[in-house]
Chain A
Amino acid sequence: MKLNHPTLKQRLADDYVFGLMSDASRRNFEKRLSNDSELKQALRNSEALWNQLVLAIPETPPSKQVWLKIAERLQLTPTKVHEITQMRQNLGNLPSEPQRRTPKWLVSWAIAASISTFGLGTYLGVQLQMLTPSTTQTDSSRTLAVLVGEAKQAAWLVELDAQQQQLRVNTLNVAALDTTQTYELWLLSEQLAQPLSLGLLPEQGFYQKNLDTEQIALLQNAQQLAVTVEPAGGSPTGQPTQNPTFFGQIRQVN
């Protein structure tokens, strides 16, 4: 049988797909592929047929880290989410003068946050390095927080760019809530009597908001961010109605 016989080409393609070739034969086959369209087609046919077997394998969800690594490798910039108009409104509702009184909330949250932060410290450090896109690094220093849940999954990357006076929120890996609930971002600081809402968080994509000088100063001096699950539209009281499900230690990045 001659080498250019279609049946032989198909058998060779099967051998290649099943790994039946020696190293030398495999290299020779790969070399021929670039010049032989029939052989290339035979390979496609073979792959299409035998990969039906692969498709018979039951599904298994991969770790969430896989997508984060892919996005990092490809330098994917999250898509803007235009639809979340309610979030925009909420992000604009920063109180001008926060009240000062004994921050009881801070004690209980701080305990929980400290426990989380202690355990997640190393993780956060790694995440911050891993998740900071090279394109965002400029000469100016930046304030960053990775909001991490109980399962140690990084959910949002929040960045304050003081020079551009912008708060940027990148969604990393967030479980979608039903339509009656939403995620709300809170600023925790010893300077504040109560948690300060920074608005609703997107469940996907990217969002940015312009900040004024006072807001920037608050964020730069804050210690932590937290996220609670609130009724759709945000907390009806202006204060968290649930315990936080995500925490993020605020860090300065040069």
Chain B
Amino acid sequence: MLDENAIRQLLLECAQQNQKAMQSLYRLTASKLYGAALRLLQNRDLADEALQEAFVHIWYKASEYDAEKGSPIAWMATIVRYRAVDIIRREASQSNRAQALHHELEIQVEDDFFEDHRAEQNQHLEALQHCLEQLDDNHRRSVLFSYYYGYSHHEVVEKLQRPLGTIKSWIRRGLQSIRECMQL
């Protein structure tokens, strides 16, 4: 379990250009964030690039983190995810990633996600998992494929054998249901 207070403090120190804090922040969070990048990109070289770009961004933008507006690791994860998504968009061929995804075709999405991390100490994640479990199967699969596994919508179309409009509609309905479930 990551120590959010420690991460928050290190981010504040990074905002003051404290290089030692940057190194500590990396040691504390890199494995978690790299796991996220690798899950999305399915390629170590690309995940390396995403993590590198993300930490450079974090160093320069640490002052923009607002401690009152959310978890520091979620803020950092957001940056990693956007870097990963940028790379996915940039990769014209995506042959490596597509190949890696091909080997994952038989993934049992729900089982994989819920076994990856059973939330015990994170109430927000626990609530989110609970609400995901309540979703219609297609909605849940669409949401998890799209976000957790980082599939493009066209890849989700291929996997679930439904038109793009249907997939987008399932994702939107899933998101709406989760928000209602979480009373947000």
Contact = CB atoms under 8 A, between A and B. Distances in A.
A73 B122 CA distance: 34
A152 interface: no
Contacts of B129: 56
Given A53-B128, A58-B35, A70-B52, A47 B175 contact: no
A74 interface: yes
Name the prevailing secondary structure of the A interface residues: helix
Contacts of A20: 153, 168, 171-172
Interface residues of B, number: 56
Contacts of B73: 55
Contacts of A41: 69
Interface stretch (B19-27, B93-101, B102-110): B19-27
A63 interface: yes
Contacts of B171: 18, 20
Name the prevailing secondary structure of the B interface residues: helix
A217 interface: no
Contacts of A17: 147
Contacts of A62: 30-31, 34, 47-48, 51
B70 A61 contact: no
A19 B70 contact: no
Interface string A42-83: 001101111111111111111101110111011011010000
A121 to B, nearest CB: 23
Given A63-B48, A70-B55, A52 B124 contact: yes
B56 A73 contact: yes
Interface residues of A, number: 39
A51 B78 contact: yes
Contact of A55 (B32, B34, B55, B144): B32
A161 interface: no
B74 A61 contact: no
Contacts of B22: 74, 76
B36 interface: yes
Contact of A79 (B19, B70, B125, B144): B19
Contacts of A73: 52, 56
Contacts of B87: none
Contacts of A49: 124, 128, 179, 182, 184
Given A51-B78, A70-B52, A73-B52, A18 B147 contact: yes
A19 B175 contact: no
Interface in B47-78: 47-48, 51-52, 55-56, 59, 69-71, 73-75, 77-78
A32 interface: no
Interface string B152-167: 1100000000000000
Contact of B31 (A15, A51, A61): A61
Given A18-B147, A51-B74, A59 B119 contact: no
A14 interface: yes
Interface of B: 19-20, 22-23, 26, 30-32, 34-36, 38-39, 44, 47-48, 51-52, 55-56, 59, 69-71, 73-75, 77-78, 80-81, 85, 113, 116-117, 119, 122, 124-125, 128-129, 143-144, 146-148, 152-153, 168, 171-172, 175-176, 179, 182, 184
7 contacts: A14-B175, A17-B147, A20-B172, A54-B81, A60-B34, A62-B47, A74-B22
Given A18-B171, A54-B80, 17 more contacts: A11-B176, A15-B172, A19-B85, A20-B171, A44-B69, A45-B184, A47-B70, A47-B75, A48-B70, A52-B74, A52-B128, A55-B117, A55-B125, A57-B117, A62-B31, A74-B56, A79-B23
Interface of A: 10-11, 14-15, 17-20, 41, 44-45, 47-63, 65-67, 69-71, 73-74, 76-77, 79
Interface pairs A-B: 10 shortest CB-CB: A56-B117, A59-B31, A62-B34, A48-B70, A60-B35, A51-B74, A54-B77, A47-B78, A52-B125, A54-B36
